[in-house]
Structure 1
Amino acid sequence: MEERWVLHCDCNSFYASVELLAHPELRQRCVAVCGDPESRHGIILAKNEPAKKLGVKTAETIWQAKRKCPDLVLLPPHRELYRKYYRIINTIYQRYTDRVEPFSIDESWLDVTGSWQLFEKSPAALADRLRAEVKAATGLTISVGVSFNKVFAKLGSDYKKPDATTLISRQNYRDILWPLPVGQMLFVGRSAKEKLQGLGVRTIGELAAAEPAMLQSALGKLGPEIGRYARGEDAEPVRRWGEAEPVKSVGNGMTFKRNLCGPADIRHALTVLADEVAARLRRHGVWAGAVQVTVRDTQLKTITRQKQLPQATHLAKDLEGGCWQLMQANWEMQKPIRMLTVTALSITTEPFAVQQSFFEDAPRTDPKREKLEQSLDAIRQKYGRAAIGAGSILKNDLGLGELAIGSPGEDEDLDEKVKGPL
């Protein structure tokens, strides 16, 4: 059987590198791309290599980064430029295979199993060729992991940066990957890392050797899955370019221009966030069977709570109602909130994803509300994103008007995983 070959191509310090194309004089200085401090979006979105060496991290606040690097140069983001280079780079990838699957705006997997022989003497040589072509076309560098599955290819691109190729083969993956800290494993976040370390699992090799039942007990279904990944048992295919990934969740959040204080503020924010999430659900042609709220307070402490809905829905009223119940049960209403996120979960392609009851109190669809929200979609599509919305967004000082529904590609956060061509 022919060996499978997957490349994971990752742009190095993508946002910062794109910005430095216009500021070559800053290349040797510490540079970071950040949100607007005046809008309370003052976090680090990306940093260049000199800043990284001084400990500047993505998602930390500007003041934290400045404490590590007082001379840090801050640049604003230019999202259209990032989309432009995303398209250029992925067009280069498509010269070599039709199986190009974006993982985010600066990362893509390529399955070159059936095509690498047409271009180079080895898959690693093709990776080197891609690095050279991207650099020549854009001035940007990429790191490429070459392996027999997607997870190991991703770990390979992270292994050596910037501008490098790393081969993770069936012969060497135990030597290269298993000694790495378990936190470097794909899909192992901070919480999972802490739970694994509590079990004595500190390296990827120890994760590979861990009993599946123990991992299941600690992490649920994620546990055995990442154990399989650590053993090299990932068989997930690379999708063709433009092939949509099944939607698993749809969410939207905001850091407000001032803190939310009290039930009225919270309800206004939930109304607008739920409106946008519902519009995205309808745009994808899916329904949600559960909702989740994520709340961050003024001390940057975060809680997440979720609940099943009585009936799958893609209506803002239903999502907002579920989130309001979560807030009432889990939040002290007078406690200020800095950031709030509404996420639709348990996504289904059918409107009735829950068991129906024969009794009169069974949940029912609301055809009038369905017609109303579809009318909102039509108005926004014809007259623009801000043409119509909740009255609570008018003349408020929270910045809610900035959350008006956009068309595909306009309202997506660039840190979200890309579902297809932008």
Structure 2
Amino acid sequence: MTDTVQLCRDCLHIERMDANALGPRRCPSCHGSRLIRHPELMDLSIAHIDCDAFYASVEKRDDPSLADKPVIVGGGQRGVVSAACYVARIYGVRSAMPMFKALKACPDAVVIRPNMEKYSAVGRQIRALMLDATPLVEPLSIDEAFLDLSGTTRLHGRPPAATLAHLVKRIETEIGVSASIGLSYNKSLAKIASDLDKPRGFAVLGRADALSFLEEQPVGIIWGVGKSLRAKLEQDGLRTIRDLKKIDKFDLIARYGAMGKRLYHFARGEDDRGVQPDGETKSISAETTFNADLSDIQSLKEELWPLCEKVARRMKRQGFAGRSVHLKLKTADFKTVTRSRTLPDPTQFAEVLYRTAAPILEKTVEGRAFRLIGVGVADLTDPVLADPIDLADPDSGKRAKVERAIDAVRAKLGDGALKKGRGWH
């Protein structure tokens, strides 16, 4: 007799049963129908949790009148879709789609401007619930993370699969958004599994079935294979995981560099990376899409300054300083241009970000028109190391005092209470 394990996602009842005798049925304990069955269900502990259409779900939570309506979170006509609810997705709307295309596909959609501070706050609540389940949480964004639940059975009195089901129930009931689970024996497979049964899904890939599942999947299912790499792989005749497995490891590396090594191992269900709880925030950025393309350097600088203030504000609130400044531009024909500069000392100040990014901007524009500008910081570090007095720049201390004074006023009266002269336009 071949055994499998069944978990009720509603009441967490677990039973072992004959896999060959499974028919349509309900939980014998609560009569619920949300059942997950897999022979290795009690043995797997690496998970990927991803909230379902997160931004749109938060907006629907906050405005119940939107419940059955197609909702798009994104910019104006020239922006892109940040998130689309599942109703909007029926019409073909997808994340990163230009807004004009999204509205053409779904003209009745309710469009809501992104509120990143609200989404970040909800994301922190979700993160806290994840940390109740296990200390080994590796965030990928504000609404998704890897979790390693090895060794938590004694802590919670139930196996990892049941703890995960309990966790997403808490996210849904306490926070008001839904999430999907991917459970496997490594990170790459858990990430793949979490996309298999959305929304409110729970998919499992075990050691016995992962390889056969992967065999006929398109190469794009591999984490890290984006649109351009997928096109290159397909151009080289590599359309499925089966095709990839025919290629020697060193040939893949020769063709695709470091990514070739990942392709080789991920195609075989191999991934030895552990869940890294310290990798939460690697960069902080902000960007804006213009209503009309801009080529004038002064106009672009006027758009740059409030972004520098926004990034500086986020750094201060999150307790970071950044050593590397990044400028992002998107041309009228959607080509992305990025430039970066490493600072001698990390900073938290908008003024330093602007004084670093503006000269890069001047050298990059070259008369071209742009539809988007963004600025960000990376190489994040402790703010105690940030913005030392620069003896070579006598005015640096004065600028620091001015920015700290502005921060103090805004802390009391709100972010819009005070602006520097550069912020008026």
TM-score using structure 2 length: 0.72
When residues 118 and 70 of structure 1 are mapped into structure 2, their CA distance, relative to the original with a 3 A threshold, is same
When residues 376 and 127 of structure 1 are mapped into structure 2, their CA distance, relative to the original with a 3 A threshold, is same
- Structure 2 partner of 1:357: none
Number of residue equivalences: 373
3-state SS of paired residue (1:140): coil
Unpaired segments ≥5 residues, structure 1: 353-363, 397-422
Determine whether 1:133 maps to 2:170: yes
Greater relative contact order (Cα < 8 A, sep 6+): 1
1:267-298 CA-to-partner distances (Å, cap 9, x unmatched) read 4444554566577778624422xx54322234
Unpaired segments ≥5 residues, structure 2: 1-41
Range 118-127 or range 143-152, more displaced: 118-127
When residues 259 and 381 of structure 1 are mapped into structure 2, their CA distance, relative to the original with a 3 A threshold, is same
Give the letter for the 1:293 counterpart.
Answer: L
* Contact 2:78 2:99 (C-alpha < 8 Å) held by counterparts: no
* CA distance in 2: counterparts of 1:171 and 1:111, whole angstroms: 20
- Cα offset for 1:157? 0.7
- Structure 2 partner of 1:399: none
* 1:8-407 alignment runs, 5 A limit: 8-24=48-64, 26-29=66-69, 31-35=70-74, 37=76, 42-77=79-114, 79=116, 82-116=119-153, 118-119=155-156, 122-207=159-244, 210-240=247-277, 243=278, 245=280, 247=282, 249-256=283-290, 258-270=292-304, 273=307, 284-288=320-324, 292-299=326-333, 301-306=334-339, 314=347, 323=357, 326-327=360-361, 330-333=364-367, 335-344=368-377, 366-368=392-394, 370-384=396-410, 385=415, 391-394=421-424, 396=425
- Cα offset for 1:126? 3.2
3-state SS of paired residue (2:88): helix
* CA distance in 1: counterparts of 2:115 and 2:343, whole angstroms: 42
- Cα offset for 1:61? 3.1
* Contact 1:380 1:386 (C-alpha < 8 Å) held by counterparts: no
When residues 157 and 67 of structure 1 are mapped into structure 2, their CA distance, relative to the original with a 3 A threshold, is same
- Cα offset for 1:340? 1.0
Give the letter for the 1:287 counterpart.
Answer: R
- Structure 1 partner of 2:6: none
Aligned-residue identity in percent: 27
When residues 346 and 131 of structure 1 are mapped into structure 2, their CA distance, relative to the original with a 3 A threshold, is closer
* CA distance in 2: counterparts of 1:318 and 1:201, whole angstroms: 47
When residues 257 and 50 of structure 1 are mapped into structure 2, their CA distance, relative to the original with a 3 A threshold, is closer
* CA distance in 2: counterparts of 1:277 and 1:221, whole angstroms: 31
- Structure 2 partner of 1:360: none
Pair member with larger Rg: 2
1:306-356 CA-to-partner distances (Å, cap 9, x unmatched) read 3565957647777656655655555432x3322112344567889x9xxxx
3-state SS of paired residue (2:96): coil
1:130-159 CA-to-partner distances (Å, cap 9, x unmatched) read 333333334432210011222221111111
- Structure 1 partner of 2:16: none
When residues 54 and 24 of structure 1 are mapped into structure 2, their CA distance, relative to the original with a 3 A threshold, is same
When residues 331 and 216 of structure 1 are mapped into structure 2, their CA distance, relative to the original with a 3 A threshold, is farther
TM-score using structure 1 length: 0.72
- Cα offset for 1:45? 2.5
3-state SS of paired residue (1:159): coil
1:96-122 CA-to-partner distances (Å, cap 9, x unmatched) read 222233322221222110103554664
3-state SS of paired residue (2:93): coil
State the Cα RMSD in Å.
3.9
